Chain A
Amino acid sequence: MIENNCENNGENNGDSNNISKNNISKNNCDDNSDSTNIRVGVYVCHCGGNISDVICVKKVAEGLANYPNVAISKEYVFMCSDAGQKLIIEDITSGKINRVVVAACSPALHELTFRKALQRAGLNPFLYEHVNIREQASWVHKKEPEAATQKAILLTRAGIEKIRRQEGLENIRVGANKHAIVIGGGPAGMRSAISLADRGLQVSLVESGNKLGGRLLEIDTVYPTNEKAEDILETLKTDIRARKNIGVYLNNEIANISGFVGNFQATLKNGETIAAGAVVMATGNKSYEPFEGEFGYRTQDNVVTMPEFHGILCNIRNNTSTNKDFIHNGKHIQSIAFIHCVGSRQQAETHQPQADGKLNEYCSRICCSTTLQAVNEVKKHFPNVKVFDVYRDIRTYARFTEDGLYEKASKNGTLFFRYTEEQLPTVQGKNITVKDVLTWNEEVTFEAELIVLATGIVPNNITNIVEKLKLPIGADRFLSEAHPKLRPVEVANTGVYLAGTCQAPMDLVESCVGAAAASSKAAIVLGKDHIELDPYVAFVKPEKCDGCQKCLPECSYVGAIFMNKDGKAEVNPALCKGCGACVAVCPQRALDLKGWSLEQIEAMVDAIAEA
């Protein structure tokens, strides 16, 4: 029973019951002249208690110790830690193993960590398989520890079956076009363009409007420094003008864009084409547009949004003859109310869904400070105007806003009312009714001649680019980063970086930080001589391909698979994303995927199913 035809690994006494014998002997003979050379190291991680609180990791490690080709099977508390990685490296360098399986968290977290460890030990990094026994076992089967342990064993067996059929792979190397496209000419886009240009990269800054500045153009001063927005803008513009390697495209848009890291091609609305190595998304945000009748918006002329209020304030202050009084629509305004969280922090019970059926559940981050800054401006210039502030939570978190804005507003006579999501304020003409938490939940009604809605922010409509580049969008409709802490300004598609509010609500400082971070990541990639891409791509076995072309319509990536002059299918590895759609339809099995071959997947399924 031990003598299976897995060519008898001397170091292991494998239990042959669970292996599909034919596959193993055949494959191993194909890929490696001698399968006895395959020595797999299996490492089972406790992940603190994330795994070991549910799964008996010892049982998993012991249960796999005698599996064919397994030379070592261990458990350890944090495999990703330095000490954990060292275990693997030592086992490799001492010659005990030449394939590695780690059963731990999701590969999204640490597959790369371990591949790098293999590399440091001098082993091809693709002779590594990451088995997820946290998200796929311990977390989802908390109440069934035994079954979860069994499942972990099966999943790890599948991982072993896969890796024993794995050959070393090399990353695909492509050249990089030392040119970046920055989409969006707001502060984030401008900051990105400047930073990238300083790296010696050619930059194309594309803005759909007729001038640079984005939403900075809408406002008078920025919080908390009270600097003039136009001064900040002038600094940015001067910096851009001073850099010869920034090309600015106004009144223009991306009509078409395709390609991959190092090699993007964009066509602008005006027909011009740009070839670039990286794309920085700085597409920004717009103010939430209240629906008709939301707090009286568009059904009453005394209700305005925050950007509209900024316009009113600017007009009054620019008119030096009458700027002592707050006059709007010919009327002397004596009282102004601000209502917070309009279009933000929405909940199913109380809020009407948006046109797409979704609620804006998120906090827009900037509206509290923006509102309090406006409140203080009104109080400073028109001290006789009564100001009411109707809020849920005051979120003046940014530096100098708690003490600079909120503190000031609390002392300048502004009256605060606090509502909860259970009962929204109502607006009837001048009358605002709030169930005010601060006065024992009493219903309070007061009059305000002008009502300002502190509207939240929503991402700009960039459907065209999102579809062309297949960018990930979150439930909040903003672009999604690959991981908020590990890859905060990158998306899953390499070569595309997120700068500023296309990703989430942010204030000016945060947008500029995001922009610098995004351009740093882009510059690091473009600064190298070559860009390395994952080797998991489809390939054609020409002797099997009969030219039926069934694969062509399945491919979602332009140019990734095509018919060559011999009438056979051919893959462009730089464009192929390794999705496997072509492999699935090929009637001749002439197509296969590097690192995810049909044989590997069949063996993995067998390892699980035959148990």
Chain B
Amino acid sequence: MNAPVNTNASVNANATSNPKADVLIIGAGIAGLQASLDLADQNRQVILVERNPSIGGRMINLSKVYPTLDCASCITTPRMASASHHPNINALTYSEVKNVEKHGTGFRVTVVKKPRYIDEDKCIGCKRCEEACPVFVKDEFEHNFGAKKAISIPFTNAIPQLPVLDINNCTLCGACANACPTDCINYTQQPVETVYEVGAILVSTGYQLTPANAKPQYGGDKFTNVLTALQGERLLAPHGPFGRVLRPSDGKIPDNIAFIQCAGSRDQSIGLPYCSRVCCMYAIKQAMLLSGSLPTADITIYYMDIRAFGKGYEQFYQNAKAMGIHFVKAKVARIKETEDKNLMLRIERQEDQSQPEEVQHDMVVLSLGLKPDWNPEAINLNVHTEYDGFVKSPKAPLQPNITTMEGIFAAGAATGPKDIVDTIGEACAGAMEIENHLRRMEWRLS
């Protein structure tokens, strides 16, 4: 009954009526948001494409951010709100870039809008469908701690406030359609392709964590009480899955927690030789937050080098030491799970007595590294990557935003691991490069 409503459905690539914009930004994390706001403030028309159902990227998923310990939401949500309200920004969520081709001085970009299985124009975000749905699925936003409904708004402060129906797990029981006051559920909705013509492109596709099982000897995918760094973030988030800090296996309050640094970086054996830049600082931050919620807990960080290099970071590290967080220079060889789900770490200290020893902890957080989240080579952009998989910056020292393809720029973790401060700086710089490029090309929206 509810046919997919989409006026763009019939637009084909050769038609001259393709929607136009000055810039198309791939990825609406903090880098994409910052760059789109800076460009939009200069009267550029921006299309912001986001693969996930909400803008906000990884940052909105974090607890608090170092070194100021501001809550991540407090810094991200206003940017998200500004971008979604800006008259010059058109945010396309739950959409992916399928193809890019050169067109005049600019590009033709094909964007596929994935079906949410609701009529977005009619939905009022009332969540009645979510309440009515009888099917529970894993909650990805909580990194599988906890469950959500098969039709749900992805998280509390998501933008837009539109639910997505998980068609793979939906039983088509019709409960949501019955509950919906605006009759907007559409079980047969199809993807919709739209071609946009733009003058420049920014790749701000960010990062993903290295897999929890990259080092199988740590049991990241087997042991319930071995957490990934992002699970650690959710555990500490004001709106985390449990509302407080407890260990997943039995709900016990942990009191002897370990962080394992370089669990996915600086390791030739897993093909990740580089430093991921953020893990030392996020581990220290999580340790500080843990020590705030669990003042009597013992917290140990096993590390190789502490890389607190940013503004105010070294002081942050020294504060953590003063708070009583143990820093042990040691390599962790493997982890075994005990009967009561505690974790036995075999470590070799690189200081004092250099003998292997076994140490027990009741919860472990793996400080996983950062990998690129998207390979631009997949869609023939002519944007090349380096051996580390991140976008190549051929003019690196002076203009790191420039890629191997003229008119396509990159910013943030797309060009290598980067913390939020450095990412925002690079996004502002990217906006500068794009504006100057458009001027050089004498690009005009006609």
Contact = CB atoms under 8 A, between A and B. Distances in A.
Given A225-B396, A486-B75, A395 B315 contact: no
A233 to B, nearest CB: 10
Nearest to A341: B314
Contacts, number: 199
A402 B275 contact: yes
Contact of B398 (A110, A235, A344, A437): A235
A524 B42 contact: yes
B432 A82 contact: no
B71 interface: yes
Chain B CB within 10 Å, residue with most, of A77, A81, A227: A81
B157 interface: yes
Contact of A397 (B78, B275, B396, B424): B275
B315 A362 contact: yes
Contacts of A516: 399, 401, 428-429, 432-433
Contacts of A521: 38, 428
Contact of B274 (A399, A520, A523): A399
B357 interface: no
A397 B307 contact: yes
A49 B71 CA distance: 10
A509 B425 CA distance: 11
Interface in A169-211: 187, 191, 195, 198-200
A396 interface: yes
A183 B431 CA distance: 23
A100 B428 CA distance: 32
Interface in B82-105: 82, 84-85
A345 B307 CA distance: 12
A78 B77 contact: yes
B446 interface: no
A361 interface: yes
Contacts of B416: 399
Contact of B399 (A78, A402, A478, A512): A512
A395 B308 CA distance: 8
Nearest to A105: B74
Interface in A106-127: 109-110, 113, 116, 120
Contacts of A510: 422, 425
Given A198-B436, A395-B309, A509-B396, A488 B81 contact: no
Contacts of A191: 398
Contacts of A198: 436, 439-440
A80 B432 contact: no
A512 B314 contact: no
Contacts of A82: 77, 80-81, 84, 157, 159, 161
Chain A CB within 10 Å, residue with most, of B68, B156, B274, B440: B274
Contacts of B65: 485
Interface in B414-440: 415-416, 420-422, 424-426, 428-429, 431-433, 435-436, 439-440
A441 interface: yes
Nearest to A527: B42
Nearest to B71: A48
Contacts of B145: none
B390 A399 contact: yes
Chain A CB within 10 Å, residue with most, of B68, B237, B308, B425: B425
Contacts of B237: 48
B81 A513 contact: no
Contacts of B436: 195, 198-199
A441 B351 contact: yes
A335 interface: no
A515 B73 CA distance: 28
B305 interface: yes
A441 B352 contact: yes
A327 interface: no
A524 B38 contact: yes
Contacts of B38: 520-521, 524
Contact of B435 (A78, A362, A523): A523
Contacts of B85: 116, 120
A503 interface: yes
Interface string B277-320: 10000000000000000000000000001111111111100100
Interface string A473-485: 0001010000011
A401 B422 CA distance: 17
Interface in A415-446: 437-438, 440-441
A365 B78 contact: no
A509 B400 contact: yes
Contacts of A81: 73, 77, 80-81, 156-157
Contacts of B84: 82
A360 to B, nearest CB: 10
A524 B440 CA distance: 17
A80 B82 CA distance: 11
Interface string A506-528: 00111011111101110110010
A393 to B, nearest CB: 4
Contacts of A438: 350-351
B273 interface: yes
A524 B273 CA distance: 40
Given A187-B398, A199-B436, A484 B68 contact: yes
B425 A109 contact: no
Interface in A354-395: 361-363, 365, 393-395
B10 interface: no
B397 A509 contact: yes
B353 interface: yes
Given A198-B436, A437-B351, A488-B425, A365 B310 contact: yes
Contacts of B424: 485, 488
Contacts of A505: 311
Contacts of A83: 157, 161
Contact of A440 (B238, B352, B421, B439): B352
Contacts of B315: 361-362
A504 interface: yes
Nearest to B239: A48
A400 B309 CA distance: 16
Nearest to B423: A485
Nearest to B308: A363
A434 B439 CA distance: 57
B71 A484 contact: no
Contact of B397 (A120, A484, A488, A512): A512
Given A399-B388, A399-B416, A227 B397 contact: yes
B143 interface: no
A488 B38 CA distance: 13
A23 interface: no
B411 to A, nearest CB: 9
A489 interface: yes
B388 A513 contact: no
Contacts of A396: 275
B78 A80 contact: yes
A393 B75 CA distance: 31
18 contacts: A48-B74, A48-B238, A85-B81, A200-B439, A225-B396, A393-B305, A394-B305, A402-B273, A402-B274, A403-B274, A438-B350, A440-B352, A440-B354, A484-B68, A512-B399, A513-B425, A520-B38, A523-B432
Given A78-B156, A523-B435, 12 more contacts: A82-B81, A198-B440, A199-B435, A345-B314, A399-B388, A402-B266, A402-B274, A485-B65, A485-B424, A489-B425, A513-B400, A523-B432
Interface of B: 38, 41-42, 65, 67-68, 70-71, 73-75, 77-78, 80-82, 84-85, 156-157, 159, 161, 237-239, 266, 273-275, 277, 305-315, 318, 329, 350-354, 388, 390, 396-401, 415-416, 420-422, 424-426, 428-429, 431-433, 435-436, 439-440
Interface of A: 47-50, 77-78, 80-83, 85, 105, 109-110, 113, 116, 120, 187, 191, 195, 198-200, 222, 225, 227, 232, 235-236, 344-345, 347, 361-363, 365, 393-397, 399-403, 407, 437-438, 440-441, 476, 478, 484-486, 488-489, 503-505, 508-510, 512-517, 519-521, 523-524, 527
